[in-house]
Amino acid sequence: MVRQKYSEIALQDKETNASSCCGSGCCSTKVYNIMSEEYNSLDGYNPDADLGLGCGLPTQFAKIRKGDTVIDLGSGAGNDCFVARAETGEAGKVIGIDFTEAMINKARTNAEKLGFNNVEFRQGDIEKMPVTENVADVIVSNCVLNLVPNKQAVFAEMFRVLKQGGHFSISDIVLTGELPEKIKSAAEMYAGCVASAIDKEEYLSYVTKAGFTKMVIQKDKPIVVPDDILKNYLNDEEIVQYKAKETSIRSITVYAEKPVSCCTPNSNCC
C-alpha cells in the first residue's frame, strides 16, 4: 500500500504533496506543511527533487565531511541526496535507496540533469539494503522509518552498513501516548507517516539495541494535525476527546554513532 501511494506521489507536484499529512493526499484544502521543513536555504537544494514529504532537516545535522560516503534511506526524488552531495563534495559518494520504482526513476532523472556522477540511486528495501557492510560514513533519512513494519531490522541494517565510527542523523515521526484506533487503521494516514508511528521511547530503544552509542535528540517538535484532516477519520466528539488526551505526534531528529571496536581483525584502534 505504501509503495502504491508513493508511486502516485512521485507523479504529483510539491504543492499537492505538501497540502496534507506528509504527502498522503488525504483531505486538507490548504497548504499546511504540517510535517515538512524548508530546505531552500541549504546548499545543494534542488526544487525538482523536493516533493515536500519530509518531517525534518536531517542533512543539516548530519556532520557530513568532504569525501564521506553517505547513504539516504527512502531517498525519494533525491532531495536529501543532493544536499548531502553539496557537503561531501566531488570526492565523496552518495547512495540513495528507495523501494518505489517511480521515485528511483525521478531521482535518476534529476541527478542526470544536474550532471552528478557521484550520486546513485538503488531500488531496494531498507530492511535489507542493497549495500555491502562497512560502507557508509554517514546515514541520513527523512520521515521514512516510521513507514517500515520492522523498524528494528532497519536499525540493524544501518549498523551493518556503517563503518566503525560512522554515524546517522534521521528525522522521523514518533508518538507519546496512543492514537485513536480510527486514525491508526486509516490507510491514508499510514502513507502519511502518522498511523504507523510508534512510541518515542520504543523507537529510541531500537537504536541502542542495534548497538549504537552516543545517541542525541538533535531536534524535537510537535506535529499538529489540522481539524479538516482529522474530520476525515473522527467525528466532532472524537476530535475533542483526542485533543484532550496527552497524545502527541512529534517529529524528532536522532543522532547516534557506531562504536569503534578493538575486537575486529581490521581495527587499528589498539
pLDDT digits (tens, 9 = 90+) for 232-268: 889 999 989 888 887 788 999 999 999 998 665 555 5
Within a domain: 210 = yes
Quote the pTM value.
0.83
In a domain, 269, yes or no: no
Q: Is residue 267 part of a domain?
A: no
Residue 229 lies in a domain: yes
Give the DSSP letter of residue 134: S
SS3 96: strand
Band of the pLDDT at 19, cuts 50, 70, 90? very low
Which cell numbers hold the place of 204?
Answer: 529510541
Asked whether residue 194 is domain-assigned, the answer is yes
Total domains in the fold of the chain: 1
Strands (E), 87-179: 93-98, 119-123, 136-142, 162-176
pLDDT in tens, 77-107: 899 999 999 999 999 999 999 998 989 999 9
Structure confidence at residue 20 (pLDDT): 43
* Confidence label for 191 from pLDDT (cuts 50, 70 and 90): low
* pLDDT grade for 46, boundaries at 50, 70 and 90: confident
Q: Is residue 264, in this structure, part of any structural domain at all?
A: no
Q: Is 263 within a domain? A: no
Of the pLDDT bands very low, low, confident and very high (cuts 50, 70, 90), residue 181 is: confident
Report the CATH number that the domain containing residue 157 is assigned in CATH.
Answer: 3.40.50.150
Average pLDDT of span 12-31? 47
> What does the pLDDT average to over 186-206?
81
Considering the domain boundaries, does residue 268 fall inside one?
no
Q: How many CB atoms lie within 10 A of CB 69?
A: 22
Q: Which domain holds residue 253?
A: 2-257
pLDDT at position 233 is: 87
